Amino acid sequence: MAIECLVLGAGQEIGKSCAVVTINGKRIMFDCGMHMGYDDHRRYPDFSLISKSRDFDNSLSCIIITHFHLDHVGALPFFTEVCGYSGPIYMTYPTKALSPLMLEDYRKVMVDRRGEEEQFTSDHIAECMKKVIAVDLKQTVQVDKDLQIRAYYAGHVLGAAMFYAKVGDTAMVYTGDYNMTPDRHLGAAQIDRLQLDLLITESTYATTIRDSKYAREREFLKAVHKCVAGGGKVLIPTFALGRAQELCILLDDYWERMNLRVPIYFSAGLTIQANMYYKMLISWTSQKVKETYATHNAFDFKNVRNFDRSLIDAPGPCVLFATPGMISGGFSLEVFKRWAPSEMNLVTLPGYCVAGTIGHKLMSGKPTKIDVDKNTQIDVRCQIHQLSFSPHTDAKGIMDLVKFLSPQHVILVHGEKPKMATLKDRIQSELGIQCYDPANNKSVHIPSTQYVKAGASDAFIQSCLNPNFKFLKSGSEENCDSGSESTKALSPLQISDERVAEGILVVEKSKRAKIVHQDELLLMLGEKEHKVQFAYCCPVSIEKLEKATTKDLTPETNALVLHKCSLIQILSTRLSSELSEGNIQDLGEHLQVESFQLSICLKDNCPYRKIGNLQYKSKAVFFCCTWSVADEKLAWKIISIMENFDQT
Amino acid sequence: MEQEILHKCEQTLSLSKPLSLQTLASVRSLIINPNTSNSTLSLILETLTCSLQLSLPDSITRHHTLKLLTDLSFHQPHLSPFIFDSLRSDDSLLSADSLAALASISDHNPNLALHIDDHFFVSLCFAPCVSVRLWLLRNAERFGVRSHLLFTVFLGFTKDPYPYVRRAALDGLLGLCKSGVLEDLDVIKACYCRAVELLRDMEDCVRLAAVRVVSGWGQMLVAYNQEMRGTNFSDAVFTQLSSMARDMSMEVRVEAFYALGKVAVVSEDILLQTLSKKVLGIFKDKKTHGQCVADCFEISASGAAGAFVHGLEDEFYEVRKSACSSLGLLSVLSEKFAGEALNFLVDMLNDDSVTVRLQALETMLLMANCEHLKVQEIHMHMFLGTLVDKNALVRSAARKILRSVKVPNVDFFKLFVDGLLENLKIYPQDEADIFSVLFYIGRNHGSFAVCIIREVSQEMEPDSDGKLGFDGARVAAFLVLAISAPLSSEQNVCSIQPRIFSYAVTLLGRISCALSDVMDQHSLLAYFSQCSRLSSFSDSDYKGEDSSLHEVNSYSINGTSTEISVQEIGDEVSKTWSWIQCNLKDVATSQARCQLEEEDEISNSMNIVLAKVKNIWPLVQSGYTKEVLESLRACKEEVLTFSTKSLGSDGALAFTLQYIQVVKLLVKVWEHFAPMKKFHYYEVGELELLLGKLDSRLADIRCRFIGLSKEEELHVLELVLVSCLLRLSKVEICCYLTTLKKLSSTISHVEFLHQQGSIEQSKFVTEVKNSLLEIGTSTFDASYKPFLFNQLLESFFLNQLLLSGRLRHIKAELDVPDNSTENPVTFVSGLPVAIPLEIALHNISSENRLWLRITMSEESTQFIFLDLNLIEGYSEFLKFTYIAPFYKTPKAVSFSLRVCIGMECLFEDVHFVKVHGGPKRMLAYLCHEKEVYLSMASKG
């Protein structure tokens, strides 16, 4: 069996996250987002690829939403209410609470401000949310008989989760967006070490390695402080949820410490409402906030006030949080138009802006004039501070997570194409894990683990109950040379558990697979044990033997009449002087070293004799040697001593 | 009732049936009832033991019976030996169940040691029951099983499929590492590698235990491999541990950071890598192996990358704290690393957790103590913030750092002082500590302090009404800063206006209270009076003023009010310190006088002896060495007859003894140079040996006594000069350049002291100085003239040394309890051995850097840094037990070590790095060497 992953969105791009994964026949849609950069059909994932007949209820087992950002949840009401999906949808409690806020806000912006035809109505949103089943962190949910899912904390924004899904023996994790370092209000992603076939991870910052966030915080505070001290206005365009709260905690703290009186404003009711949710969902925030929550709720901002539209042109410094984050429209654009022409003011930009938004234009070099639409052009004279506060993990974080989870395969989504390719190469070369970065509407097939159920024999179970470990010495003989190459020689002692090794898997035709203990096997098959024995007929130069004889034995003895035993004896003495290991036994007729046996070969045509050794024929005595596999190394050592008899 | 139950029991037993649970319950009621008679109890014991033999097949009854027996032994401790023996006696009955009962009995009665057969232990371990296996592994060490067997069992069970068994096995391995009984390199490697594998275990608790084992056995591996590629192994251990900094479990991360701090040697590159998330350039070229788990000895830079960055950013304060503390320990290893680490550390001062802030400050203090704290401008804002922290502990920790920090320029100095003043303004309760810190930093940076005082001198003057604003804390703070400047060891310190010292006298009580750890009230007053008077003569502007003639009213000493007046004393400029000290007797209160008197008595007697010593010099010059030595011995004996009653005066005694010793050595050396009366044969090298001894004695005398007056110090310094000259004038021994360097540095020190105290230079010093100037201008070859130095020596004359101040003697006592040739410490060759030392320290302050020197033979010496910060409590007398590890145990049946405590001589500027990781400066030894006897642990 295999996993098939169809990427409907966020393939080699950022926006409209949507991946449909088929595991062992179950189909799960992870995230259902919309692309903020487009106004046409490209805004939504191409759902027709899931099912030509548009019968989504039968082709999908469930939808899982990781967090409330529009590029992860934006297309959901459209899919359920317009396309007609009515199956289960899973998301965490905070996501369920905050998603309708986001969707409603977006709908209003689209319809009220841009006068577009609405894609879905408020009722659609409400209806859609009724189908949502909320889950808790680390709660295992049995979607149906075979499919179970579990949420893990992902940092990123309030309620963001990574999802683990398992069908049968195949398991995978979809990360959604996540953050591996904690920030002012959220913790770092946290997951168990799982056995995974597939990890689908975001890769927003596939090549960036960020330095410590403390320095960035300091710079941000410095820039804001400088601006308000000079009487300027600070515009902080943010998403209503998430970064706004983080920056607000930071500023509120700083204001407190520095005793500043400059007002901080929140633009819309949305943020105020969101703050209320934050206050309630303390258990989803960072350790710091949780610890201090009993004495002071970090989301009770002391210096923050509501903003009134009339205050846009009011004199004096202020700080304003406005949505949306990338100045793509809405209130932040309105304020930007008014404030951008003054040098005193400051606009901070989020770490990432989708191409096509004003935020993106500001980021790519400082323009002096910006065309908002066909008729409007703004002079941009204000200062621009780029906030690289991002709730996304950086490249190192992705690598750390992949390394920690060590899945069989990795699929990268939610990133820019060239950077993803770089990261893909890194994962493959450094971690040795197969990695893919499919484009939109492409699918990836990967093999998955498959377990076979097998019966076990009683004897095997019995032997498994008792621990049975062995110590192995390996590789200490080769690679004894010094230097870095001798890595193998450094790990000489290894432990292995013999319990499983003693089992033998027997698969017979049309029968269930069975594991038996190794001792049972022969009995079961009614066979006898076979052993492999090696043999070699080894020539030894007689001349040399003679010399040795005349030296070692009585001088008058002729070599030709030498008794077999004395030849063996000479060999024996020689071997014992040259061979460090093994116990050499002289048994008269033959010589034995461990399983190695040696005797004089009197046959003229010994089958084990090498024909190439003709030059020896006249002067050589042949010794027939046999040994078993275990002593192969030893045997060849002895034979080389014998063959080189005349060279020393 | 009793009888009834017993009867019932007997009946059942006689039928060879096991007791029913109900019967057992009633037996239990008998056991816990305090009124049950002894005879019944012993009957119960009998019955239960009987039943135990019967109830073999029925494990539940057996379990309950054993439980009852355990209960019985708890309630009737006198029965416990019997119960223990009866359970223990029959091996066939021994099971995991009864073992547990035995163990809990022996817990309550430590006399009953539980030992079981190795074979039995193994068979139980290998039984199918997992809970028994777990229990056995956890308690393995108490059964007296052979350690080699234990090791095999533990190592094997790290493969167990049950995570808790794996953890217990790892814990066991860690225990074995601590007890240190295994010696084979292969064994150590195998264990270490297995632990490294388990760092990737699925279970948190196993990974946690694995981190500990990797740390423990890794250290052993490094110690074992010290000769060959020690750093490589150490780096490998370090990177393995730092790769755990990104673990998902908080406990694992905390443990990993603590373990990182324990690694003793790491190469600088790896250290720097832990502060950068990007892989550094030098590592990029190196080949990276495919799988990260491939090799446990691989040094992987990517594993170490940014470990500390992550640690300091961690969500949990526990992790941040342990990362901070490890940073401190590691920053000792490399100055560059410390510098980089500081950039991260200052941000931790902004942490919301007080614990973390405190730890960060403590780490900075550690850096300052090893002179690795380089303050930069970007750090200042954060650092000064801590001085006004809401938390008093944080403020005090921040001030502690200021005491030992080196300030690069006057702007920083001003910032620090302003910070302290701000602190004083907001938190007046910190006054004493702030004054003390001001005094320290002023003393350390004399010229900067003078700059500041000049700027603010207006503030310190009386206003138009003639009233002095002395009561203002700010002015008081400046006064403290002012009085500290002249004590600075820097040169070119312009003198502070003498009026200021007289102002300071009015705040004597307040100041002396703050400076109690530096000097007592008397010396402080003396110092003020001296400075306010003496300088006034050097400064003609103030000559006419009667600034030195101040009536100072109502200041308190020891709570009582006394009236003193410091009278003007003509222009006897030369009479200084000692005179004031004498005069002080009159002004001291009776309580203080008593002690002073005794001290003075000793001082006086010592001075008499010292006068005798002085008298011998003409004899030395005319070559009566033998006679001189004899009279010196007599002097020494005379000194030894004084026994001291008060703690304060033993310093003077010790000083005199040491001084006599120095003179004795000097006389012996002199003999080699003086025109000979008789012709002597000397052994080759004898002179060098004597000179070496002389040098080390002089170093001792210079750094082991606190409270030396300028005269005393000068006297000693002159002797140092003589010793240098002696060296220089013998061609065959002198190491020309080093000695010359020492000579010139000593001279400049002497000069400085002269300026400070306005003491007239002796003829000898002047001559040496002049000739040194001559040499300094000429080149090496031309200048080397031994005879020149020889000539200089002739002008030397041993003056009388006058003891005046209250001397405190830095010394230590060292003992190894219960150690003798009969009762040696056991060791296993090749593994580290722990030596328990009882150490007592006198007059040690936190600035002193102490080292433990352990010598086995001439070649094999090991130094251990005694971190006083780790020892609770600070006082003049400190006593504690310290477990010193000795790593390179030889392959011998027994051997002995010599242990000694040494202190780094801070004045010694010549760095000599002899042993890697050892002291950087010369050591002055504070006690006699103590011999420790060790013998091989018998196997079995």
For A52-100, how does the pLDDT look when each residue is reduced to its tens digit (9 = 90+)?
888 899 999 999 999 998 889 999 999 999 888 999 999 999 999 889 9
Q: Let me know if B626 is exposed, middle or buried by CB neighbors in 10 A (0-12, 13-18, 19+).
A: exposed
Chain A residue numbers touching B290 (CB-CB < 8 A): 432
Cα nearest neighbour of B159 on chain A: A497
Going by pLDDT thresholds of 50, 70 and 90, the confidence category of residue A125 is: very high
Distance of alpha carbon B769 from alpha carbon B743, whole angstroms = 9
The shortest C-alpha distance from B729 to chain A (Å) reads 51
Task: Judge whether B420 and B428 are in contact, CB under 8 Å.
Answer: no
Mean pLDDT of A274-298: 82
Chain B residue numbers touching A394 (CB-CB < 8 A): 277
What average pLDDT is seen over chain A?
82
CB-hemisphere CA count at 13 Å for A374? 0
Contacts of A640 (CB under 8 A, 6+ apart): none
B189, B292, B310: residue with CB nearest A431: B292
List, run by run, the mean pLDDT of 10-residue segments along chain B (940 residues): 74 72 84 83 82 69 84 84 78 73 81 79 84 88 84 88 92 85 78 89 92 90 69 84 91 94 87 88 58 60 88 92 92 89 87 87 88 80 80 88 84 88 86 88 84 81 62 80 76 66 78 78 78 50 36 34 34 37 41 55 75 77 77 80 60 82 84 59 70 83 80 82 80 68 80 75 79 62 61 76 76 84 82 85 79 80 79 70 83 85 71 60 81 76
A192, A212, A400: residue with CB nearest B313: A212
Alpha carbon B796 to its chain's center: 40
CB B248 to CB A404 under 8 A? yes
CB contacts under 8 A, B 211-250 vs A, are 246-248
CB-hemisphere CA count at 13 Å for B321? 14
pLDDT score for A418? 92
Distance of alpha carbon A250 from alpha carbon A217, whole angstroms = 8
CB B248 to CB A190 under 8 A? yes
Task: Judge whether A628 and A523 are in contact, CB under 8 Å.
Answer: no
A592 strand-pairing partners: A585, A597
Q: Where are the alpha helices (DSSP H) in A234-323?
A: 243-258, 269-280, 287-292
> Per the structure block, which two tokens stand in for A263?
């007002």
CB B277 to CB A209 under 8 A? yes
CB A493 to CB B128 under 8 A? no
* Position A495 pLDDT exceeds 50: yes
pLDDT score for B4? 78
Percentage, residues of chain A above pLDDT 90: 27
CB A487 to CB B297 under 8 A? yes
CB A469 to CB B126 under 8 A? no
The shortest C-alpha distance from B163 to chain A (Å) reads 14
Distance of alpha carbon A432 from alpha carbon A91, whole angstroms = 33
For helices B96-108 and B130-139, angle between their N-to-C axes, nearest 10 degrees = 30
pLDDT score for B555? 35
Cα nearest neighbour of B389 on chain A: A257
CB B295 to CB A487 under 8 A? yes
Alpha carbon A387 to its chain's center: 28
Residue A84, φ and ψ in degrees, nearest 5: 90, 30
Cα nearest neighbour of A462 on chain B: B128
Chain B residue numbers touching A406 (CB-CB < 8 A): 200
CB A469 to CB B157 under 8 A? yes
Q: Does the CB of A467 have a partner CB in chain B at under 8 Å?
A: yes
A503 strand-pairing partners: A517
Q: Which of B246, B274, B300 to mutate to test the interface with A (most CBs of A within 10 A)?
A: B246
- Interface confidence, given as ipTM, is 0.76
Q: Which of B184, B308, B315 to mutate to test the interface with A (most CBs of A within 10 A)?
A: B315
pLDDT score for B914? 52
B193, B306, B316: residue with CB nearest A287: B316
Chain A residue numbers touching B314 (CB-CB < 8 A): 182, 188
pLDDT score for B461? 73
pLDDT score for B831? 82
Going by pLDDT thresholds of 50, 70 and 90, the confidence category of residue A399 is: very high
Active site residues of A: 202
The shortest C-alpha distance from B247 to chain A (Å) reads 8
In a 3-state reduction of DSSP, which class is residue B489?
A: coil
* Position A160 pLDDT exceeds 60: yes
Strands (E), B193-277: none
CB B315 to CB A287 under 8 A? yes
**DSSP run (H or E) holding B434:** helix B431-444
A192, A209, A491: residue with CB nearest B189: A491
Q: Does the CB of B352 have a partner CB in chain A at under 8 Å?
A: yes
Closest to A346 measured CA to CA, from A435, A243, A228: A228
The shortest C-alpha distance from B154 to chain A (Å) reads 11
Task: Judge whether A275 and A299 are in contact, CB under 8 Å.
Answer: yes
CB A211 to CB B314 under 8 A? no
Distance of alpha carbon B92 from alpha carbon A615, whole angstroms = 71
In b/e form, how buried is each residue of A444-466, taking b as 16+ CB within 10 angstroms?
Answer: bebebeeeeeeeebebbeebbee
Closest to A278 measured CA to CA, from A240, A250, A324: A240
CB B156 to CB A492 under 8 A? no
Chain A residue numbers touching B163 (CB-CB < 8 A): none
Between chain A and chain B, the number of residue pairs with CB atoms below 8 A apart is: 111
For residue range A32-55, list pLDDT tens digits in order: 999 877 878 888 999 999 988 888
Q: Does the CB of B285 have a partner CB in chain A at under 8 Å?
A: no
CB A396 to CB B248 under 8 A? no
pLDDT score for A486? 37
Going by pLDDT thresholds of 50, 70 and 90, the confidence category of residue A616 is: low
Length of chain B: 940
pLDDT score for A621? 76
* Position A377 pLDDT exceeds 70: yes
Going by pLDDT thresholds of 50, 70 and 90, the confidence category of residue A487 is: very low
Q: Does the CB of A400 have a partner CB in chain B at under 8 Å?
A: yes
pLDDT score for A333? 85
Chain B residue numbers touching A403 (CB-CB < 8 A): 246, 292
The shortest C-alpha distance from B370 to chain A (Å) reads 26
Length of chain A: 648
For residue range A439-478, list pLDDT tens digits in order: 999 999 998 877 778 888 888 888 888 887 777 765 444 3
Residue A8's alpha-carbon distances to A19, A42, A59, B269, in angstroms, are 6, 11, 15, 46
pLDDT score for B677? 46
Chain A residue numbers touching B350 (CB-CB < 8 A): 214
Chain A residue numbers touching B352 (CB-CB < 8 A): 288, 292
Q: Does the CB of A295 have a partner CB in chain B at under 8 Å?
A: no
pLDDT score for A561? 46
The shortest C-alpha distance from B292 to chain A (Å) reads 7
Q: Does the CB of B160 have a partner CB in chain A at under 8 Å?
A: yes
A210, A212, A467: residue with CB nearest B157: A467
CB A491 to CB B315 under 8 A? no
Q: Please give the DSSP secondary-structure letter assigned to residue B226.
A: S
